[in-house]
Amino acid sequence: MLARRFQATYGMVCMTLVTTFTLPTTRGDEGMYLFNDLPLEQLQARYDFRPSDAWAEHLQQASVRFNSGGSGSFVSSQGLVLTNHHVASDTLQKLSSAERNLIRDGFLATDHAQELRAPDLELNQLQSIEDVTDRVNASVSEGDSPDEAAKKRRGMIATIEKESLDQTGMRSDVVTLFGGAAYHLYRSRRYTDVRLVWAPETAAAFFGGDADNFEYPRYNLDATLFRVYENGQPARVEHFLRWSETPVVDGDLVFVSGHPGRTQRIFTLDALRYLRDQRLPHVLDTLRRKEILMQQFSLEGQEAARRARDELFGIQNARKAYTGMLRGLQNPATMSSKGASEARLLSRLEQSESSAAMTEAWREIAVVSEERAATLKDSVSLRSDLFQLALRIVLLTAENAKPNEERLAEYSEAARASLLNRVLSPAPLYRDLERVKLADELAKLAEYRGFEDELVAEVLAGRSPEQVASAAVAETQLMDVSVRKQLIDGGSEAVSASDDPMIRMALQFESAYRASRAAGESLDERERQAYAVVTAAKRLIDGKGGYPDATFTLRLAYGTVKGYQEDGQQVEPLTQMAGAFEHAKEHEDQKDFELPNSWYQAESRLDPAIPLNFVCTADIIGGNSGSPVVNRAGELVGLIFDGNIQSLTSDYLYTDEQARAVSVASQAITHAIEVIYQAPKLAAELGR
Amino acid sequence: MLARRFQATYGMVCMTLVTTFTLPTTRGDEGMYLFNDLPLEQLQARYDFRPSDAWAEHLQQASVRFNSGGSGSFVSSQGLVLTNHHVASDTLQKLSSAERNLIRDGFLATDHAQELRAPDLELNQLQSIEDVTDRVNASVSEGDSPDEAAKKRRGMIATIEKESLDQTGMRSDVVTLFGGAAYHLYRSRRYTDVRLVWAPETAAAFFGGDADNFEYPRYNLDATLFRVYENGQPARVEHFLRWSETPVVDGDLVFVSGHPGRTQRIFTLDALRYLRDQRLPHVLDTLRRKEILMQQFSLEGQEAARRARDELFGIQNARKAYTGMLRGLQNPATMSSKGASEARLLSRLEQSESSAAMTEAWREIAVVSEERAATLKDSVSLRSDLFQLALRIVLLTAENAKPNEERLAEYSEAARASLLNRVLSPAPLYRDLERVKLADELAKLAEYRGFEDELVAEVLAGRSPEQVASAAVAETQLMDVSVRKQLIDGGSEAVSASDDPMIRMALQFESAYRASRAAGESLDERERQAYAVVTAAKRLIDGKGGYPDATFTLRLAYGTVKGYQEDGQQVEPLTQMAGAFEHAKEHEDQKDFELPNSWYQAESRLDPAIPLNFVCTADIIGGNSGSPVVNRAGELVGLIFDGNIQSLTSDYLYTDEQARAVSVASQAITHAIEVIYQAPKLAAELGR
């Protein structure tokens, strides 16, 4: 299943994205296009189709972004939002308890009163895009050092965002695109009263489990419905997607509107080598360590397994995705292909006047990559929810004392509401799980930095990682939302005076965290400037146009419903409802291949021929999970939920030879809600 | 469960053990004593017990070593051998097929004809120990460099072993003890016709699975019976253990006779820091990688899971054991305790004349540890059974051309029979499993050494690790034992001329493997010499005596049956048969907590009060699995199968505060065989 954004999987851990971009020479249906720069000519040329402004505006406004990492769409005038079960699972987990296991058992609200409010979901609906490139760049003077330039840009971005927020009340994000060649202000409506309406059982949503994940053919009902509320009432929504009356068929042109999280298509060969040789092996070691840790915790019993479920799933999903990415890079064919285009570009550049200055950028990227490799184990944070809450509180109160334009990005005025939504979330936390995670994170910190390291010595203070974690988790008061609120309201003074062990620990980390973050942002800036030059070089050779690398902002992709060849066999693009039962039967000896009882009870009433899943060539990546798939008429035909195993290289290389996006067919969703989940009223509301 | 020796788990991968030793200042019941240097005075003083020569001789001769990694004992005059199910599982796996799953379902031969011959088991029964220290040392001249000295010693050892083999026909191993202060020739009878008689279901043997592993209280029937044959008939055995008529009770003095694999009690603080900061984190990364790989493979279906079962179990067991070892080292209390004794020794040494020369040894160990840390990722082999077979064949044919005393140790004349027993094993190999393992090993090789590395470039030759692995595994003929035999018989010429892709790959690795091994042996020798000085220093301060660190040779440990305190609760030393059923009920929601049907069917006929498992303070470590536990009368009272979680630090620090060895009570074995497995004839043979 498509990786949810990694930072989303790990709650509030912030990951700085290097926003880079890709240019013209696209292959097949490649591209994740900005809604203010749609590929109209390509679509005309390739598919004889030209979307109208109204078509695009409607699709944009019907699309939503989930702060838990993923995409979705409005599907009724009464605020219904369709997304994936695996995007919703973060919320399903938080709404569950020992007595109510929504992840395993699913959920159905038969009326509005039964709908369950998500503790900390925020949905964003993009309203407008404004180009603020000139204003951002004007803040920088010639002769500024990279660090000074970065600081000024960040300051100007904070100012623009705050102005916009003050003027419109809307969430305002300045997005860096094309390696800093463009800055766009994205204004979004925020929905924070989001309620769960319907979710199927995991056995249906994630049928086939980890074994089938990223495979095809598939038979998954990876769908969930939420409803957004305003002022305590279901929101009235103007732009929502209607259901297509006819299901997709082989060869159909389709569009995907969603929020791809991050791609690295612009990466130079040296940057890809860094990924292959350093970063991905390191990330995989970390993921496997966490996976085993969560598995071991889950062995303690059913309730322990329930508590660790969503995190374990996220880790397994990421591990499988990164494994595929690394395998792709370890295939010399990938590097040759990337190397050939780079060599072609560089050799053409040689004839240009500014060739020397431009190729310097490639060297700078190689140097930055080497410096990054050296910092992979400079761990300065701990992936424990309680610790992260403490660190947020420490940073928030300290940043509040600074002028808006000097703050760390996520503590700016414009970002404040979204941050507080997270920090003050009433979502449950589990001391047993936190203790195990924190102990391992502290052990890892000591392994990475060494026991003689100043930070490690200060934090451990002669105790073992387990002893420190046990004491801190047992004694912290941060489980209590009101304690968090009091600390935030009390500001730096209250934080300094606090004897909460988790707050004390966060204070011990604060300066190392700030130093590491500053160093990282400095590397980001150098890389950004170098990629801006690479961009210019590409434009010089290939001409203007194209799409920027993914940045978790709204994009449009397109493609056709199309099968592919695998091991000499043709894989058909569509599966049908009947296939799910056959698939279960073929794998009856395997874990995670049992359909829920609700399916068997409804089997005789189901239409066996109704399409269940399908693949298409649209260019997607993690973050696209939950994206609507629409036809030429802008009607809903599917719901993106995965890429096949061959698509795992899409991070750095699109190909439509075998790589495919995998969707739930829209008809299967209504049919299942009606026949299996017996909610005809809900089914009737969809698309109306 | 006690880690089987790691090299055993991984088949024929050879791991050079640095044989070091420990001296007097023992705590409580600490010690793994040589049978030719038993702790008679301690036993007299502590327990008023003095074993006679006949008592010791009988116990020694009744003990056997398994080449699959583990211990056992003769328990009938007709050659029955008792060991753990988890020691036997390597053989159970090899005797299983898609149609016959002995690991899961267990086995019972109702007569000799039904007994199943193990494809490659070798059991060793120690016959005599001879001190050959003077002869080995006489081979070295003053002024020899460490490498020259090591070479001469190895040559002399090969010569002594071959002479002994020629004279006696017995397996002859010269064992390095006390850091090279002593060399003993161990002569053993080899049994290679070993047949499976009885094994319980894994659900009974490994009841509680990975969750309960290394925990206590326990309720495991971790036992299996083999029978050794000579000339096609059950071997007539003079020394076998009789069953004690009375079960052990709290406070009983007991003895453990077995083959502890490796301890590192002599390690200096710097060497322990190397373990804590470098080696163990690295080993754990490797184990977790392999564990996830085998889990993923197992997801493919029941047959895939069966094929990977024993390897996955071995990895999980090792991962849990190493995690405990690392946690112990990460506890500052451990390092303080070790540091305090080292500081005391060093400060006393200061008054000695040779102080400076001696403390130099501590520095040398620190330097060697640093050099080892730098080589952790110098991978020059691949953990795939097919590749290992190929490498053995390549090395064997090359080494055969050299004089005996110049060969790599395991290719010497004396070691030849045991090696061939492995290389020509008819045990099944699975192409699907081998492909997955080899692909990952090749990927790891490239990650560790870099894609530009000469060896990596030569092996991959422009293909991806997966492509190389797929081709080699698909095309190799080494699955066929007769092909292996032909290559060995054909010698270097046949090997050079072979176009078998696995042989070609092994040839590509040969020189890097030899270079790396030589470098490793050179580090070993420097370390050995340094630890010999540390030994001398300890003797100077503490006096002579004590026991050498474990070397997978026969040792005697002693202790008492005794509970312990955990989290403020008293843990009783014994569990009873009834407890197994209660334990299953308490954990009915958990995987691996279901007893087999055979147990439920027999429940009403079982004696609920019969002791099932017990703990004692005897000093054991991985390799002791399957060791008999006897009472003062030398009668069998138990069967070692595990250490508790607190014992996982025993590798470098014995303590009897909480650390305990865990055994199956001997009465439970006979009772289960009689009542549950309904084999009264077999039960009657035990101890007779």
The predicted-structure confidence for B512-526, as pLDDT tens digits, reads as follows 999 999 999 999 989
For CA atoms A576, A578, A582, A584, give the dihedral sign: positive
pLDDT score of B1: 65
- pLDDT tens digits for B79-115? 999 999 999 999 999 999 999 999 999 999 999 999 9
Which residues of chain A neighbour B447 with C-beta distances below 8 Å? 277, 281
pLDDT score of B25: 58
Token pair for B231: 């000339």
Across the range B294-305, mean pLDDT stands at 95
- pLDDT tens digits for A146-194? 889 889 999 999 999 999 999 999 999 999 988 778 899 999 999 999 9
Residue A328: closest C-alpha in chain B: B464
Are B450 and A284 a contacting pair at CB < 8 A? Answer: no
Q: How far is CA B33 from CA B39, B186, B260, B546, in A?
A: 7, 15, 10, 8
Point out the residue among A277, A319, A591 whose CB comes nearest to the CB of B450: A277
Which residues of chain B neighbour A284 with C-beta distances below 8 Å? 289
pLDDT score of A27: 79
Residue B304: closest C-alpha in chain A: A590
Are A464 and B276 a contacting pair at CB < 8 A? Answer: no
pLDDT score of A513: 97
The 3-state DSSP class for residue B586 equals helix
Are B446 and A330 a contacting pair at CB < 8 A? Answer: yes
Which residues of chain A neighbour B589 with C-beta distances below 8 Å? 301-302
User: In Å, how far is B388's CA from the nearest CA of chain A?
Assistant: 24
Cβ–Cβ under 8 Å, residues A648 and A325: yes
Point out the residue among A284, A292, A300 whose CB comes nearest to the CB of B291: A292
Are B587 and A443 a contacting pair at CB < 8 A? Answer: no
**DSSP annotation of A139:** T
Are A464 and B590 a contacting pair at CB < 8 A? Answer: no
- pLDDT tens digits for B266-294? 999 999 999 999 999 999 999 999 999 99
Which residues of chain B neighbour A443 with C-beta distances below 8 Å? 326-327, 330
Answer left, alpha or beta for residue B438, where phi above 0 means left and psi between -120 and 50 means alpha.
alpha
Mean pLDDT for chain B overall: 93
Residue B447: closest C-alpha in chain A: A277
User: In Å, how far is A572's CA from the nearest CA of chain B?
Assistant: 22
Are B465 and A300 a contacting pair at CB < 8 A? Answer: no
pLDDT score of A540: 83
For CA atoms B171, B224, B385, B119, give the dihedral sign: positive
Q: What percent of chain B has pLDDT over 70?
A: 96
pLDDT score of A2: 62
CA angle B676, B677, B683 (to 5 degrees): 105
- pLDDT tens digits for A309-365? 999 999 999 999 999 999 999 999 999 999 999 999 999 888 877 788 888 999 999
Statement: residue B541 has pLDDT above 70? yes
pLDDT score of A1: 64
Candidates B276, B298, B299: best to mutate against A (most CBs of A within 10 A) is: B299
Residue A464: closest C-alpha in chain B: B331
The 3-state DSSP class for residue A177 equals strand
Q: What are phi and psi of A182, to 5 degrees?
A: -145, 145
User: In Å, how far is A447's CA from the nearest CA of chain B?
Assistant: 6
User: In Å, how far is B205's CA from the nearest CA of chain A?
Assistant: 18
pLDDT bucket at A14, cuts 50 / 70 / 90: very low
Integer Cα distance of B2 and B71 in angstroms: 11
Which residues of chain A neighbour B590 with C-beta distances below 8 Å? 299, 301-302
The answer for residues whose C-beta is within 8 angstroms of residue B655's C-beta and 6 or more apart is B27, B28, B646, B649
Point out the residue among B273, B277, B464 whose CB comes nearest to the CB of A330: B464
Are B447 and A296 a contacting pair at CB < 8 A? Answer: no
Are A446 and B330 a contacting pair at CB < 8 A? Answer: yes
Q: What percent of chain B has pLDDT over 90?
A: 86
- pLDDT tens digits for A266-287? 999 999 999 999 999 999 999 9
User: In Å, how far is B318's CA from the nearest CA of chain A?
Assistant: 13
Q: What are phi and psi of B109, to 5 degrees?
A: -95, 125
Length of chain A, please? 688
Which residues of chain B neighbour A302 with C-beta distances below 8 Å? 589-590
Number of Cβ atoms within 10 Å of the Cβ of B544: 8
Number of Cβ atoms within 10 Å of the Cβ of A196: 23
The amino acid that residue A346 corresponds to is L
pLDDT score of A7: 30
Point out the residue among A211, A447, A465 whose CB comes nearest to the CB of B299: A211
pLDDT bucket at B51, cuts 50 / 70 / 90: very high
Token pair for B587: 């954990």
Token pair for A10: 């790990």
User: In Å, how far is B589's CA from the nearest CA of chain A?
Assistant: 6
Residue A442: closest C-alpha in chain B: B330
Integer Cα distance of A277 and A266 in angstroms: 18
Transcribe B414-441 into DSSP letters. HHHHHHHHHHT------HHHHHHHHHHH
Are B590 and A299 a contacting pair at CB < 8 A? Answer: yes
Statement: residue B7 has pLDDT above 50? no
Gyration radius from chain B CA atoms: 25
Point out the residue among A285, A300, A462 whose CB comes nearest to the CB of B285: A285
Point out the residue among B210, B300, B591 whose CB comes nearest to the CB of A211: B300
Token pair for B506: 């092994």
- pLDDT tens digits for A79-115? 999 999 999 999 999 999 999 999 999 999 999 999 9
User: In Å, how far is B250's CA from the nearest CA of chain A?
Assistant: 29
pLDDT score of B11: 29
User: In Å, how far is A589's CA from the nearest CA of chain B?
Assistant: 6
Which residues of chain B neighbour A277 with C-beta distances below 8 Å? 447, 450-451
Cβ–Cβ under 8 Å, residues B640 and B615: no
Point out the residue among B292, B301, B333 whose CB comes nearest to the CB of A319: B292
Statement: residue B5 has pLDDT above 60? no
Are B330 and A277 a contacting pair at CB < 8 A? Answer: no
The amino acid that residue A658 corresponds to is Q
pLDDT score of B2: 62
Statement: residue A12 has pLDDT above 70? no
Candidates B288, B379, B453: best to mutate against A (most CBs of A within 10 A) is: B288
pLDDT score of A17: 31
Statement: residue A547 has pLDDT above 50? yes
**DSSP annotation of B647:** G
**Which residue carries 């997709």 as its tokens?**
A248
pLDDT score of A211: 93
Are B211 and A277 a contacting pair at CB < 8 A? Answer: no
Across the range B634-642, mean pLDDT stands at 98
Mean pLDDT for chain A overall: 93
Q: Which residues of B touch A (CB under 8 A)?
A: 209-211, 273, 276-277, 281, 284-285, 288-289, 291-292, 296, 299-302, 319, 326-327, 330-333, 443, 446-447, 450-451, 460, 462-467, 587, 589-591
Length of chain B, please? 688
User: In Å, how far is A374's CA from the nearest CA of chain B?
Assistant: 15
CA-wise closest residue to A375 among A518, A230, A516:
A516
Are A331 and B464 a contacting pair at CB < 8 A? Answer: yes
Are B301 and A589 a contacting pair at CB < 8 A? Answer: yes
Are A330 and B301 a contacting pair at CB < 8 A? Answer: no
CA-wise closest residue to B561 among B577, B573, B546:
B573
Q: What percent of chain A has pLDDT over 90?
A: 86
- pLDDT tens digits for A632-647? 999 999 999 999 999 9
User: In Å, how far is A99's CA from the nearest CA of chain B?
Assistant: 15
Which residues of chain B neighbour A276 with C-beta distances below 8 Å? 451
Are B292 and A296 a contacting pair at CB < 8 A? Answer: no
Statement: residue A587 has pLDDT above 50? yes
pLDDT score of A145: 86
User: In Å, how far is A330's CA from the nearest CA of chain B?
Assistant: 6
pLDDT score of A504: 98
